């Protein structure tokens, strides 16, 4: 379950409760801050309708958004065209990306994709992020750290996330978020993790 057909069906039926209709506020504040990462190539995993991808492209990053739901990608492409935004979008399963994008990206952006995959796939997710990043590349991850049972969205604790990533990444920062949307207040952590080697 939770394959591309399931997710696409949610988009077709408008059952997209995760969709906040804008880029995640913590990404906007990061890009507007002194801590703004230098422009480079960005992959947005499970990009949905593309708001976060468009945001990074607006700030001069060279962005590809990936999602395996056809309808999400169609919406993202349309949004980019409407806003004359340079972000690109490809309909892909994120677990297939290492073959084509090995050591390719300066940054990977995570926002509600990690919580959308099945928890047993998380180890493989970490390997995908490592594989598509250049050495020293960075994951900019906004993690949904709720503790309710079931999913998606599947919850996680900050400790679990750190344990998973520490093998292949240096944790540069990992903090609770203060400007979440109201529905996620107190349940998000923003991390910047750097690929080792």
Ligand X SMILES: C[S@@+](CC[C@H](N)C(=O)[O-])C[C@H]1O[C@@H](n2cnc3c(N)ncnc32)[C@H](O)[C@@H]1O
Q: Residues with Cβ < 8 Å from 188, sequence gap 6 or more?
A: 26, 142, 143, 144, 145, 176, 177, 180
C-alpha 55/C-alpha 57 separation (Å) is 5
Of residues 95 and 174, the one with the C-beta less far from ligand X: 95
Examine residue 54 and tell whether it contacts ligand X (CB under 6 A): no
Of residues 1 and 38, the one with the C-beta less far from ligand X: 1
C-alpha 43/C-alpha 130 separation (Å) is 12
Q: Residues with Cβ < 8 Å from 118, sequence gap 6 or more?
A: 2, 154
Helices 51-58 & 70-82 angle (0-180, nearest 10)? 30
- List binders of ligand X among 2-41 (CB under 6 A): 7, 18-19
- List binders of ligand X among 57-96 (CB under 6 A): 66-69, 72, 93-95
At residue 169, what are phi and psi to the nearest 5 degrees?
A: -135, 150
Examine residue 144 and tell whether it contacts ligand X (CB under 6 A): no
Examine residue 106 and tell whether it contacts ligand X (CB under 6 A): no
Interface with ligand X (CB under 6 A), residue from 47, 77, 177, 190:
47
C-alpha 85/C-alpha 62 separation (Å) is 11
Q: Are 191 and 161 in contact (CB under 8 A)?
A: yes
Interface with ligand X (CB under 6 A), residue from 75, 85, 112, 180:
112
Task: Tell me the number of residues near ligand X by CB under 6 A.
Answer: 19
Examine residue 129 and tell whether it contacts ligand X (CB under 6 A): no
C-alpha 61/C-alpha 33 separation (Å) is 15
Examine residue 116 and tell whether it contacts ligand X (CB under 6 A): yes
C-alpha 72/C-alpha 11 separation (Å) is 7
Q: How far is the CB of 125 from ligand X (least distance, A)?
A: 9
Q: How far is the CB of 197 from ligand X (least distance, A)?
A: 25
Which secondary-structure segment (H or E) carries 163?
A: helix 158-166
Q: How far is the CB of 149 from ligand X (least distance, A)?
A: 17
Interface with ligand X (CB under 6 A), residue from 26, 89, 111, 140:
111
Examine residue 55 and tell whether it contacts ligand X (CB under 6 A): no
Binding footprint of ligand X on the chain (CB under 6 A): 7, 18-19, 46-48, 66-69, 72, 93-95, 111-113, 116-117
């Amino acid at each position: 379950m939770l394959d591309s057909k399931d997710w696409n069906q949610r988009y077709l039926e408008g059952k997209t409760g995760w969709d906040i209709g804008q880029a995640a506020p913590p990404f906007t504040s990061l890009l507007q801050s002194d801590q703004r990462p230098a422009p480079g190539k960005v992959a947005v995993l499970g990009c949905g309708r593309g708001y976060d991808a468009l945001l990074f492209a607006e700030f001069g990053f060279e962005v590809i958004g990936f999602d395996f739901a056809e309808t999400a990608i169609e919406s993202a492409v349309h949004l980019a065209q409407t806003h004359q935004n340079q972000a690109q979008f490809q309909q892909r399963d994120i677990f297939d990306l290492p073959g084509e994008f090995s050591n390719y990206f300066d940054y990977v952006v995570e926002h509600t994709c990690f919580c959308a995959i099945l928890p047993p796939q998380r180890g493989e997710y970490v390997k995908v992020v490592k594989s598509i990043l250049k050495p020293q590349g960075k994951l900019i991850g906004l993690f949904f750290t709720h503790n309710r049972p079931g999913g998606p969205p599947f919850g996680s604790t900050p400790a679990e996330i750190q344990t998973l990533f520490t093998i292949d990444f240096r944790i540069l920062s990992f903090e609770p978020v203060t400007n979440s949307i109201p529905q996620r207040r107190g349940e998000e952590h923003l991390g910047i993790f750097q690929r080792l080697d």
